[in-house]
Structure 1
Amino acid sequence: MEIRVLRYFLEIARSGNMSRAAKTLHVTQPTLSKQMKDLEQELGKKLFHRGSTSVSLTEEGMLLRKRAEDILDMADKTIDEFKALDNIAGGEVHVGCAESYQIKYLAQVIKEFKVKYPLFHYHLTSGNTEQVVERLDRGLLDFAVIVEPPDLSKYNYLQLPAADTWGLIMKKEDVLSQKESICVEDLFGLDLICSIQAMQVDIPRWCGEKADMLNISGTINLAYNGSVFVKEGLGYMLTFDKLTDTSPDSDLCFRPLEPPLKTEMYVIWKKYQVFTPIADLLLNELKLGLSQ
């Protein structure tokens, strides 16, 4: 299975049309069709439903699409790493980030770093802790920024200098907005929205066995999307402060939990990881910048 053929396959999957994909790839349609038939023969599975004017993926094709995207991400990252070996003035670094206002500390370090290395390029991937750690473990990321204590048997880490404050996002006209803080009893009977991690780890850490009395009506992995649901009247969201717009012009407000619930944030990387020169330099910059 060749990298080039996987690129052809993904372009067809994205465009849904063999002729259009051939034009984009600058190959003839018969050549492209033959490459796909050879790929299907190699795998022993049918990858496409072929119509008169379009193609769509079979279940096996959808599985290959996911695998091909991972393989090509890794291939492209490897190429970038080898290019960077001869280019200490720049290079590529991939970072996965959980949601937090503390990402500003990473941004501040990178801003100073780009002054020293103007050819440096960064690629940020957003997701919850589970998602970014998975990409780190698969070698698709150099660093991950997570909101739970790291597994010290697998990762080295730096702790960010602040902590995130948990609270409740609600509409400003809601009766609970009159309170300065929210206790667990205030949440009884409410439709609550939160992340799976919060539901399993953070909220039980805050209220213990009373967490079983809460009605989690929906889960999210990005706070912005949750805030849209709150605006539409689908409930209340448990999340960090400063992740959603609660400015005077917003329809939403934030009230902290009582007793206070805080979460630390960490930059992690795999133990014994061999970095490219530019990633190694960035790590040194992070160690200096985050310790101040």
Structure 2
Amino acid sequence: MDVYVLRNFLAIAEHGNMTHAAEALHISQSALSMQVKRLEGELGKQLFVRHSRHLALTDEGQLLKQRAETIVGLMDKTVAEFHALDELGGGEIRAGCAESHLIGRFARAFASFREDYPRVRIDITSGGTDQVLGLLARDEIDLAIIVEPPHLDRYHFIEVPGTDEWGAVVRADDPLAELGEVTVDDLVGRELHISRQSLTEDLPRWAGPRLGELRFLGHYNLAYNGAVFVREGLGVLLTFRHLIDCHPGSGLYFRPLSPPLRNKMFIVWQKNQVFTPIVQRFVEHLTAVLGRAGHVGLTAEHGDTAGGEVASEKAGRKGGKPAP
């Protein structure tokens, strides 16, 4: 199976039309059609269903598309890495990042790294911890930035200094905006938004056995999208401080959870990872810059509930609306 043919197959799948794909690839339609026939013959499966005006992938075609994207991507990555061997001052660093204001520390480390390597580039993919670790496992990124403890048998890591604080994002006209902090009691009976990962990994540390009393309207991948629903009067968003614009005049308020719930952030890479020279230098730079204040190679405790049991309602929680 030729990578060149796989690239052409992906072009046909993208355009959904043999003629348009051939024009984009600058080859004849007959040559492209012959490649598809040979590919179908090699695999013993039909890859496209031919309609009057377009081509649609069969189930087998969809499977090949997924595999071809991976194969072509790895081929391009391999070529780029070998080119980078002779270009230590440049090259690309690929990172997958969970949402956190602590990403600022990573960005500042990259900025200082560029002082010595001004031609280096950064490619950032945003997603939840499961998503970015999946990319790391498939060698589609060099580093994963996650907000839960890494598995010591799989990863080397740097613990990023600082923590993310959990809270509730609500509209200005929501009764919760009048509170200084939010407890489980305050959220019972409310419709909540939270990421699926945090629902299983983080919220149980805070709500404990009362988790079953909470009702969830929806799940989000990026907190911004959850905030859009909150602005429309649809529920309460549970997320980290600093991710959503809650400045005065924004119409939204952030209220911290009580007892506090916090997460640590980690930069991880696989133990068997083979880096390009520029990525290796960057990891060494990260270790020097963040490792002094953070933790390299040994897992620290992942956040806490800083008060253990869910606290009873504190006296004096109500009474003039606190600042957003």
Given the two structures, how large is their TM-score scaled by the length of structure 1?
Answer: 0.97
Deviation at residue 253 of structure 1 after TM alignment: 1.5
Task: Give the structure 2 partner of residue 18 of structure 1.
Answer: 18
Structure (1 or 2) with the greater helix fraction: 1
Alignment RMSD (CA, Å): 1.2
Deviations 1:49-79 (A, max 9, x none): 2122211212222222222222222111111
Counterparts of 2:181 and 2:76 in 1: how far apart (Å)?
A: 48
Task: Give the structure 2 partner of residue 105 of structure 1.
Answer: 105
Counterparts of 1:114 and 1:21 in 2: how far apart (Å)?
A: 39
Task: Give the structure 2 partner of residue 234 of structure 1.
Answer: 234
* 1:73-152 superposed matches below 5 A: 73-152=73-152
Is 1:70 the counterpart of 2:70 in the alignment? Answer: yes
**SS at 1:90 equivalent:** coil
Deviation at residue 235 of structure 1 after TM alignment: 1.2
Task: Give the structure 1 partner of residue 190 of structure 2.
Answer: 190
Task: Give the structure 1 partner of residue 311 of structure 2.
Answer: none
Task: Give the structure 2 partner of residue 217 of structure 1.
Answer: 217
Counterparts of 1:13 and 1:115 in 2: how far apart (Å)?
A: 42
Deviation at residue 232 of structure 1 after TM alignment: 2.1
Q: Which amino acid aligns with 1:281?
A: R
**SS at 1:119 equivalent:** coil
Deviations 1:61-117 (A, max 9, x none): 222222222222211111111111111111122111111111111111111112211
Counterparts of 1:230 and 1:157 in 2: how far apart (Å)?
A: 35
Counterparts of 2:232 and 2:77 in 1: how far apart (Å)?
A: 41
Task: Give the structure 2 partner of residue 47 of structure 1.
Answer: 47
**Structure 1, unaligned runs of 5 or more:** none
Deviation at residue 155 of structure 1 after TM alignment: 0.4
* 1:135-174 superposed matches below 5 A: 135-174=135-174
* 1:274-285 superposed matches below 5 A: 274-285=274-285
Deviation at residue 120 of structure 1 after TM alignment: 1.1
Task: Give the structure 1 partner of residue 177 of structure 2.
Answer: 177
Task: Give the structure 2 partner of residue 201 of structure 1.
Answer: 201
Counterparts of 1:78 and 1:37 in 2: how far apart (Å)?
A: 29
Q: Which amino acid aligns with 2:214?
A: L
Counterparts of 2:232 and 2:9 in 1: how far apart (Å)?
A: 40
Task: Give the structure 1 partner of residue 60 of structure 2.
Answer: 60
Counterparts of 2:251 and 2:47 in 1: how far apart (Å)?
A: 48
Deviation at residue 10 of structure 1 after TM alignment: 1.3
**Structure 2, unaligned runs of 5 or more:** 294-324
Counterparts of 2:105 and 2:132 in 1: how far apart (Å)?
A: 18
**SS at 2:253 equivalent:** strand
Deviations 1:96-145 (A, max 9, x none): 11111111111111111122112211111111000000111111111100
Counterparts of 2:227 and 2:67 in 1: how far apart (Å)?
A: 33
Deviation at residue 272 of structure 1 after TM alignment: 3.2
Counterparts of 1:189 and 1:232 in 2: how far apart (Å)?
A: 19
Given the two structures, how large is their TM-score scaled by the length of structure 2?
Answer: 0.87
**SS at 2:165 equivalent:** strand
**SS at 1:176 equivalent:** helix
The share of aligned pairs that are identical, in percent, is 47
Q: Which amino acid aligns with 2:143?
A: F
**SS at 1:149 equivalent:** coil
Deviations 1:182-208 (A, max 9, x none): 001111011111011111111100121
**SS at 1:20 equivalent:** helix
Alignment coverage as a number of residue pairs: 292
Task: Give the structure 1 partner of residue 265 of structure 2.
Answer: 265
Task: Give the structure 1 partner of residue 315 of structure 2.
Answer: none
Deviation at residue 181 of structure 1 after TM alignment: 0.5
**SS at 1:116 equivalent:** coil
Deviation at residue 223 of structure 1 after TM alignment: 0.7
Counterparts of 1:247 and 1:76 in 2: how far apart (Å)?
A: 44
Deviations 1:130-186 (A, max 9, x none): 000011111111110000000011101101111100001111111110001100111
Task: Give the structure 1 partner of residue 296 of structure 2.
Answer: none
Counterparts of 2:46 and 2:226 in 1: how far apart (Å)?
A: 39
Deviation at residue 234 of structure 1 after TM alignment: 2.2
Higher mean Cα deviation, 55-64 or 235-244?
A: 55-64
Q: Which amino acid aligns with 2:134?
A: E
Counterparts of 1:283 and 1:134 in 2: how far apart (Å)?
A: 20
Counterparts of 2:141 and 2:112 in 1: how far apart (Å)?
A: 21
Q: Which amino acid aligns with 1:146?
A: I
Counterparts of 1:54 and 1:236 in 2: how far apart (Å)?
A: 44
**SS at 1:27 equivalent:** coil
